[in-house]
Structure 1
Amino acid sequence: MSAQITRVEVFHFRHPLAAPVTTVMGPMVARPALLIRVEDADGAAGWGEIWCNFPPDGDFHRARLAGNILPAALRGLTGEEPAPFDVITTRLRRLAIQAGEPGPVSQIAGAADIALHDLRARRQGVPLAVLLGGTARPVPAYASGISPDKFEAQFERMRAKGYRRFKQRIGFGKDDGLAELKAAAAQLREGETMMCDANQAWDADTAIARLDRIVPLGMTWLEEPIPADDPLSDWSRVAQASGIPLAGGENFGTRHQFAEGIASGAYGFIQPDICKWGGLSGGASVAREALAAGLTYCPHFLGGGVGLIASAHLLAAVGGDGLLEVDSSENPLLDHFSGRGLSLEDGAFPVLDRPGLGYDPDVAGASDRMVSHTEGQVAR
């Protein structure tokens, strides 16, 4: 019988930015990272990550919330549960309702799910990808977070790391960034491709009006042209008008939303974020449902490295033609906590054939950026 979880730690890191990163949601003035570590009675441990990019300073709230609720939420668990995310969210359901915070609660539960999977894989001596039913194989990746005002420098930086696929932000600034999107597309080299992400900037009519400037650029996909919770009829209307596959899912917060989105025919690419919702158990379920429906699974990720590596293992496990998202904006915490940097090898992102994630995050090496560290005992 596996030992129960007895200890949980929350590590909060933050990298201030000299120049803010502009987004549809407003400027990012810092890059935060929230890591958790769970440990069982035998001393075995696993790591997870909590999504915490928005709102500004939301990482402080999530760090405190995680420190308060995780010890009770993990009581009696061993890491052998088939779907820890469901167990934990059920335990925290009333709190999420009462506080009006289903998002932060799901993000914390997702991190715990990842950590418990990591722990279980380490116990078995297998990589996460193998635990999830696949093999630890390299996965194709793309460079995301390309800013309209910095695309040339970001292209060159990520090309030097082996990337040939790029995703640029649009939907804000003068002309909604469409002139810069055209300029960036004109600089693509042979064999390079591009996607664009509007981050929910428009309503359906506005999105359709923008298509005549986006479609000719040959984008692989148009991501979140309208809000994630807009009616599926609006998503279908944009999809039918565009001729470009639509991508979305990072802002879905329930299984029902994913099921409806997959069945709707509006999406070509489904992008759950395991650090926002579902962890590895929920993410794997959605990924396989999307693949069975003929869609492409491309995990969304924007954070501090642990979630990136866990997403790579999941993509390796489920297969398909999906791409791993790797942020190209300034974020040393992403490089550091990935355990290996961000460079591709032979055009793909390596997935280590070692137990669990394949490494231990170097929290001591980022101590100069640590904001807080909390530790809680988990009752048996």
Structure 2
Amino acid sequence: MAYPSDEVVITAVRAVAVRAPIETHVRTSFGIMRDRPAVFVEVEDDSGNRGLGEIWCNFPSVGAEHRARLVLETAGPLLQQLSPLPVGEVFARLMDKLHVLAIQSGEWGPLRQVCAGLDIACHDLAARRAGLPLYAYLDGQASGSVGAYASGIGPEAPAEVAARELARGHESFKLKVGFGMETDRRSLDAIRGAIGDRRLMIDANQGWNLDQAILHGRHFADYRLDWLEEPLRADRPLEEWRALSEAMPIAIAAGENMNAPAEFEAAIASRLFRFLQPDAAKWGGLSGCLAVARAARAAGLTYCPHYLGGGIGLLASAHLLAAAGGEGLLEIDTNPNPLRDNLIAGLMPLSGGRVTLSERPGIGLSGDLDGIVARAA
């Protein structure tokens, strides 16, 4: 399917880092989030049209402010210099121009994330300008309904969280593991008891080596799991992923920490990853991730966007999944986050395990960046 070829002429770029305090910290196998950060960006074209984007900034804890400055001082001015350019080339063109800086600084991750957020914002602008919801702008035949799952469920109170999310309309759930066999089993027993036979996935957040992953995969098979996510470090060779796939019976999901087209191409060609999960706020933006999603689907794999941030990125991920089509599920974090919840209100109602997207132009949010920040807070 042809990608939209509209050009954007960006004349202004804004960015702001915001943080929301939380009472309960978010635990993973590699770190703890003690607040909820977000970097929101806004682009404006030569006709006054605006678009919103979001940049991944969860780790390290000081990362949000650094990424906002990268937008304002480096990537934003470059985007203006490159204009006009096709909306589908924003991420690739920015990263091409920043390649030497990324080598020199070693900051591949932050630069990719910043360019991804600007790519999202340019797509929101283009869709708003066209008067179309983003999913319809990307694919005129797409449906505005996508499957979803409750994510971010930790070992503290998995049964209680799952019961609450079940009442909210979720039918699929993902549990964080990697806290030791005893703790993980206790969590799995609790959540399986709460959700019955509904879909259940687990995420180890790169917490194991190959032997540990095989051991846990075999032990956890009885819990009827749809996938085991990132059991190994993302940069482990395909030979290790193949050994894991052959040694344990659970399907493997990965992709949020893959960082280049060649990595995704190799992952798809290997057919070791039943579920591919690029994060549009972390790599590729909408243009890069939609290409991966379509390639994954063509290979018979399932695209499920990874996402764990504020409301702008979640809305963009939902529209991206709708445009990609297929049986993938949208990741919706269950942990409190006003920077997400205050923005998505009314724009993606959940019922029966599915989200219905707004027909408003772009990702559905109106107003300028200052208004969005005030609404999120």
Output the TM-score relative to the length of structure 2: 0.93
**In the aligned structure 2, how far is the partner of 1:292 from the partner of 1:2?**
28
Residue pair 2:8, 2:87 contacting (<8 A) in 1 also: no
Per the alignment, residue 257 of structure 2 pairs with 251
2:65 corresponds to 1:27: no
Moved more, 342-351 or 212-221: 342-351
Per the alignment, residue 224 of structure 2 pairs with 218
AA of the residue aligned to 1:92: L
AA of the residue aligned to 1:315: L
Per the alignment, residue 261 of structure 1 pairs with 267
Q: 1:27 to 1:347 in 2, by over 3 A?
A: closer
2:311 to 278, 297, 305: 305
1:83 is paired with a residue whose SS is helix
1:165 to 163, 172, 176: 172
Task: Give the 4+ runs in structure 1 shifted more than 6 A.
Answer: none
**In the aligned structure 1, how far is the partner of 2:218 from the partner of 2:9?**
57
**In the aligned structure 2, how far is the partner of 1:164 from the partner of 1:108?**
33
**In the aligned structure 1, how far is the partner of 2:243 from the partner of 2:87?**
41
Per the alignment, residue 186 of structure 2 pairs with 179
**In the aligned structure 2, how far is the partner of 1:178 from the partner of 1:70?**
45
2:78 to 69, 73, 76: 73
Q: 1:81 to 1:331 in 2, by over 3 A?
A: closer
Per the alignment, residue 12 of structure 2 pairs with 7
Per the alignment, residue 3 of structure 2 pairs with none
Per the alignment, residue 143 of structure 1 pairs with 150
Moved more, 293-302 or 14-23: 14-23
Residue pair 1:14, 1:32 contacting (<8 A) in 2 also: yes
Per the alignment, residue 318 of structure 1 pairs with 324
Higher RCO, 1 vs 2 (CA within 8 Å, ≥6 residues apart): 1
Q: Provide Cα deviations, 1:3-57, integer angstroms capped at 9, x if missing partner.
A: 6211111022101222322211211101111110000121100111000001122
Shift of 1:369: 7.5
2:88 corresponds to 1:82: yes
Residue pair 1:79, 1:116 contacting (<8 A) in 2 also: no
Residue pair 1:196, 1:222 contacting (<8 A) in 2 also: yes
Per the alignment, residue 338 of structure 2 pairs with 332
Shift of 1:341: 6.8
1:6 is paired with a residue whose SS is strand
Shift of 1:333: 1.2
Residue pair 1:35, 1:48 contacting (<8 A) in 2 also: yes
Residue pair 1:79, 1:117 contacting (<8 A) in 2 also: no
Shift of 1:149: 1.1
User: What 5-or-longer segments of structure 1 have no aligned partner?
Assistant: 371-380
Moved more, 274-283 or 7-16: 7-16
Per the alignment, residue 107 of structure 1 pairs with 113
Moved more, 243-252 or 123-132: 123-132
Q: 1:3 to 1:164 in 2, by over 3 A?
A: closer
Residue pair 1:335, 1:342 contacting (<8 A) in 2 also: no
Moved more, 9-18 or 260-269: 9-18
Q: 1:135 to 1:354 in 2, by over 3 A?
A: farther
Residue pair 1:136, 1:352 contacting (<8 A) in 2 also: no
Residue pair 2:347, 2:357 contacting (<8 A) in 1 also: no
Q: Provide Cα deviations, 1:307-333, integer angstroms capped at 9, x if missing partner.
A: 111111111111111000000012121
Residue pair 2:349, 2:357 contacting (<8 A) in 1 also: no
Shift of 1:67: 1.7
Q: 1:224 to 1:306 in 2, by over 3 A?
A: same
Q: Provide Cα deviations, 1:215-238, integer angstroms capped at 9, x if missing partner.
A: 000011000111111011111111
Output the TM-score relative to the length of structure 1: 0.92
**In the aligned structure 1, how far is the partner of 2:373 from the partner of 2:42?**
16
**In the aligned structure 2, how far is the partner of 1:173 from the partner of 1:340?**
39
Q: Provide Cα deviations, 1:122-172, integer angstroms capped at 9, x if missing partner.
A: 111112112212424110100000011121231132122200111000002
**In the aligned structure 2, how far is the partner of 1:81 from the partner of 1:127?**
16
Shift of 1:366: 4.6
**In the aligned structure 1, how far is the partner of 2:19 from the partner of 2:176?**
23
Residue pair 2:43, 2:121 contacting (<8 A) in 1 also: yes
Residue pair 1:40, 1:78 contacting (<8 A) in 2 also: no
Per the alignment, residue 241 of structure 1 pairs with 247
AA of the residue aligned to 1:138: S
**In the aligned structure 2, how far is the partner of 1:237 from the partner of 1:112?**
38
Q: 1:166 to 1:2 in 2, by over 3 A?
A: closer
Shift of 1:76: 3.7
2:54 to 45, 49, 58: 49
Shift of 1:84: 1.0
AA of the residue aligned to 1:110: A
**In the aligned structure 2, how far is the partner of 1:258 from the partner of 1:365?**
33
2:356 corresponds to 1:356: no
User: What 5-or-longer segments of structure 2 have no aligned partner?
Assistant: 1-5
Report the count of equivalent residues.
Answer: 369
